[in-house]
Structure formats: structure tokens, C-alpha cells
Amino acid sequence: MSRKLPLAEGETSRTACARGLLRTGVDERTGQLLSAAVLAERVGWCVSLVSGMVSALTVEHWNTADVDTLAAGEDAGGRKLPSNAWMALRRLGWTVAPPEGVKANDRIVRMAQEQAGRALRSAKWRADLTAGVLTTWPGDPARRTADEWDAVREAVPGGQFLPSSVIKSRTRQTASFNAKNGRMPVDVFELEGAPRTARMLLLSACDGQQATIERADEPGRALLRLQLPTRPDPASYKDWTWVACPISLPPTIPAGAVLHLPTLRIHRDRVRADLAYTHAVPKTSRTGHTIALGVDWGLNTLLSAGAARLHDDGQITALGSGGQFRAAGVLAKQHRLRRLSEHLHAKTDHYQRLTGGDKQYSLTARHTVLSDEIRHVCDRRSHLNDALAWAAARWTVDQAITASATVIYVEDLRSMEARGMGRTVNTRLSQQVRGQIVDHMRHLAAEAGIAVVTVPARNTSKHCPQCLTPLRHRKAPDRPTAPGWKWALCPSCRWQGDRDQGAWRRIAARGLTHQTKTVTDRASGAMVIRTVVDKLETRAVITATADKTSRNDRSKTGPTRPRTTRPTPRRRRTPSPTRPTGPAGKRPEGHAHTDRTRLPRAAHRHQGVTTISTPTASRHRPRGAALGAGFHLHAHATPQRWAIPSPDTTSDMGSLS
């Protein structure tokens, strides 16, 4: 199949990844059908061989000199290093070989070099960050002064736009090393050991002599062919055979997408495949947007979003009242799991101190059980966060598609540190998966050609979206004098609304007026607005629109309807029956008197919702409980008021006090 993707005008290529599963395989030499367990075993032998070489190569070059040499991008002769990590390592002479007595082809060594080279390249950023923190070590590590913050940002590459939380976490790590060893670390390679080796096969580093993938004749199917060992320690090339594995492609992979060699990993005795593919998507632009979706972060109301339109005359108006993504239940469960994890960690540390590393101690078994439980709780938290992030991102992109928006503006809260709201609320705010949600949002928005841009979060909730006047925050709209933070009132233009509803208006308006200041980060490829310009900020206001009025002719054509001086009290919409027609049935409307000893009878017996049958064997017999008719004291058959809306027939009767 062709590896080139045809592109039309206004399209660009995009590489994404989807999950697949290898359920079976066929040994092409013997024709034997391999079950999922046998296939996982053979892939596991190959993974163990590769991960052993990766670990040896990473530990050997885990030092400042080698990492700097690899990051410099030039070899000893001054030639530019290739972009592929395995080719760069071979140019530098960093080789590795299988264990003695094991025979493997050169493509197996390639996968090991590629994985080790990626790990060593990623260490360069951490090394520079740690070096910048060490050279500008503050007098008080817990609280830097303004000058010390400026100094550390100058020492760190790209530190001007680096979140302060990243610098603080590296400072706490260094301070912990100092307290434990009585001295400062030399570099990050002393501060951190060599990273653990992930057990996986990077087939993308191979060619057709090790693995191939092609689409099958059936739609949604592909065939992966790769060489796998037939024993844990293959002694010759005869111990390697070709295995054909059919794959069911996920529906997220388009029919015209170009497939790439996947990454294989073992998960719960099954072979998982991370399927990479390239497909055509609409191009996104940094400027020229007229409809934007503003997104604001919250706690229980995780996201508040709404659309705004930029008109030709420069005015910005809101399109509707916006929406909210409420995840109070999921966040509460997340909070409970975090507290449980903290409790288990504290108990495990206590057992560790008591046992002192003695495996014969009686508490060692309990320590092992708690360690397994900690891993289980961590997996639950990870899966919950991932599901929440995907759900929130999908909701946001759907809102943008519905509003025909071409850009999503999200406030940048990477540096937010919750303070002054109590230990519980501060922790919940700090542990939200905002970065994960934005990453998923970019992934989903790219398929629809929608740009995702982060904007500064300064004063988005503090100033009025219509006049930029500082808002007065109150507890609720019906309590305008009670101090709070949820409800906002403007003392100038009299605008009032939910704090988050005002914030997304400010974010959308700020993004639309600062379009020309949008830049693309070279490292991540993300679009971002880094600074707020005062001149542009003065135009970032939402113009209030007049209420729509009816165009129908409302001229008076008859006499005014007389109003009684004693209006009827408001009752339920359905009138009560004139007289009962059976021994039991529907409950009458209006006020039920408390002095009645028997339940009132209703008009007919046609009731089927939440009624109960007549008990026969029990001594207790609910009053009025006939089969198919009547009510138990705790049954609710009348539909809720919001289930069947009906017109208000008493709106013209004056006061209903």
C-alpha cells in the first residue's frame, strides 16, 4: 500500500494512535494457530530480550556528558545526528548486544537502541531544569523572593513561560535530597536514578525484515506480520518464526488512513497494540476567527463554556447563556480514593519502619497486602481520571461544533496553586486533571479543524464581562449581602450572573481580541496566547444585546377580562374529579386534609406506575392498596412537575398569596 497520504486543499496530515488487541496468530512455518495466551507468551519472550538491552544501554550512558552529547545533535566529526534515536546512537558508537548465547537479528537491537535513545533525549530537559535550580538556590526554598524567581527563570531554558509549580516541585525534590544526605546533589543524574524500562516493542524502529502491516480485504481489518522467538533464549535464527496476527481496527481509524507499525505491550496476559495512523484533517489557523468557545475551570462544576461572536464592527456578543459540565459525583469519588491512598501509604510506611526490611517479620505479609492494595487504588484513580478527562474533552468539542466555533479558548491554569480555601478544597483544586483534559481536547478538536488556544487567566473571574469593572461576589442571587464567591454582581452596569458564566465570556472575548498574539510553541506544537495587551484588553468586552420582543400585533381588540377580588389559590394543573366512580383510584388534586382517617378515593383505576400489589401473606395491609389501583403511603405515581410541562392557566388571576 502507498505510504503517502493524498491531501486536498485546506487539509493537513495528522498522526494519531488507537488501541488494538492481538487475539490470535498463525505460525507461518508450521501453520499452527496460536491462542491469545501462547501469543502473549511468545511476545513476552521478545519483550524481555529487548527490555534487558534497553536497561543496560540506559544505565551505561545515564550521565551528564553522554546526555549533553546526544542532545547537541552532532557527532565527533561535526556531522548532524539523524532524527531517529537508534541511528543517532549508532553514529555515536553506543552499541548493545543480546546476552551471551542468545541469537537475535539486528532489528531487535534497533528497537532497544530506539527506546534507550528516546529516554536519554528526554532527560536533557530535566537536567537543564535541575541545573538552573541548583545554580540559583534560594535562601528559603519554601518561599522565593521576586528577585530569586527572576533569577531561576533566567537560568532555566524557556523559564519565562514555565509554570511555577514545575520549579517548585524540583526545588522540593532537591531539598529532600539535601535533608537526607546532608549535601546538595551534583546534577539530576545523582538526584534521580536511571528510569525504569517499559516492557514494549517499538516496531516503528524496524523495517520489513522484522514486521509489516497491511490492510486486509475486509473493511476494518488489518494483518500484522512479525518475527517472534519460539523459546525464551533463541540460540539460532531457526528459533525465530513469522507470525501473522489479524487485527480488528477501531472505528476511530478512518478507512483512508495510512497505517504504521504499532507498539506492542503485554497487559494482563494479553497483547495490546498501540496502532499509529496518519489521516487528513482540516487545517487549523491561529487568526481569522469570528466564533469562539470560551472555557472556564471550576471545582464541582468542572467546566463552564459558551460561544461568542466577533462582528465586523469589532463588537463581541454572547451566543446563548452557555453550559456547564458538572462532575461533582466523579470528583467526590476521586477525592475519596485520594484519601484512601494517603491512608494506605501512611500505614505501609509505618509497617516498613516496624519491620526494618526483615522479611521474616510477622508484619511483612500485611505490608505486602497493603502494597498490592495501593497499586489497585492507584489504578482506579488513573482510570477514573482518564475517563473524566475524555468525557470533559468530548463535551467541550461537541459544544464548539454545535456553535460552529473555529477556536476554543481555555484559560491557562498550569501555575494555579489553590490557597486560603481550606486544606480539602485546596487539595481538590490542585489535583484536577486540567492538563490531561486540554491534551484530549486538542486531540479531538484537531479532527474537526478546531484550534485550541490557551489564554492567560488574569482577572477572568474578577472583572465584569461587559464593562471590565471589578465585580462584587456574593453567596447567592437571593442573598446579595452575604459574602461569597459563586454569584457576581457588577456595581457599574448592573450585570449579574454565575461567576463561571462571567468567566467564560471574559475568556472568549480576550481570545478573540488577542488573535494576532497567538503563537505556536515549538516544543509541543500547542497554540498559546502568552501575554495580555492593555490596548486590546479594553476591547475585550461583551456587548449586551436587547431582549427580543414579539412582532405580533398586540393591539386591544376586545374588553379587558375581569379579575376577581378573591383569586383562587394556586392548585395543581389537573382538576379533581366531580365524584368518585370506584372504590379506589386516582388521588384528588389540591390540599389533602390531615384530619382524614382514610385515604381519598380517585376517579378511575387506570394506574400502572409505582403502584403496589395487594399483600396476601403479610399481616400489614396498606390502606387503599388494590391491585392496579390505589396508593401506598410511600408510592409516587403522579408525574413530576418537570416531566410534563403545561401552560400556566392562573397567570392572569392577580395575586396568589
CA distance 62 to 202: 21
Res 528 pLDDT > 70 = yes
Q: Confidence band (pLDDT; 50, 70, 90) for 261?
A: very high
75 by DSSP, 3-state: which? Answer: coil
Do both 221 and 82 map to the same domain? no
Indicate whether 391 and 468 sit together in one domain: yes
Does residue 421 fall inside a structural domain?
A: yes
Tell me whether residue 406 is in a domain: yes
Q: Is residue 565 part of a domain?
A: no
Q: Are residues 246 and 325 in the same domain?
A: no
Classify residue 305 by burial, with Cβ atoms within 10 Å: 0-12, 13-18, 19+: buried
Residue 256 is predicted with a pLDDT of: 87
Reported as a single tens digit per residue, the pLDDT across 198-255 is 999 999 999 999 999 999 888 889 999 999 999 999 999 999 999 999 999 999 899 8
pLDDT number for residue 547 = 60
Question: Do 520 and 470 belong together in one domain?
Answer: yes
Counting the structural domains of the chain, the total is 3
Helix (H, G, I), strand (E, B) or coil at 294: strand
Rg (CA), the chain: 33
Instruction: Residue 366: count other Cβ atoms within 10 Å of its Cβ.
Output: 15
Residue at grid coordinates 383505576: 605
Residue range of the domain that includes 519? 291-329+382-537
Q: Which residue has the cell 514545575?
A: 166
User: Which residue in 204, 207, 217 sits closest to 275, CA to CA?
Assistant: 204
Enter the pTM of the model. 0.75
Longest Cα–Cα distance in the chain: 107
Q: How far is CA 362 from the centre of its chain?
A: 42
Is 555 contained in some domain? no
Q: Which residues pair with 518 in a beta bridge?
A: 529
145 lies in the same domain as 222: no
- Contact by Cβ (8 Å): 454, 526: yes
Q: pLDDT digits over 50-98, tens only?
A: 999 999 999 999 999 999 999 998 988 889 999 999 999 999 999 999 9
Question: Are residue 225 and residue 131 in the same domain, yes or no?
Answer: no
> 94 lies in a domain?
yes
Specify whether 109 is located in the same domain as 227.
no
Mean of the per-residue pLDDT values for the chain?
83
| The pLDDT of residue 597 is above 90 | no
Residues 153, 70, single domain; the answer is yes
Could you tell me if residue 59 is inside a domain?
yes
Indicate whether 273 belongs to any domain.
yes
**Coil, helix or strand at residue 95:** coil
* Residues 390 and 522 occupy one common structural domain: yes
Asked which of 232-241, 453-462, 502-511 is least confident by mean pLDDT, the reply is 453-462
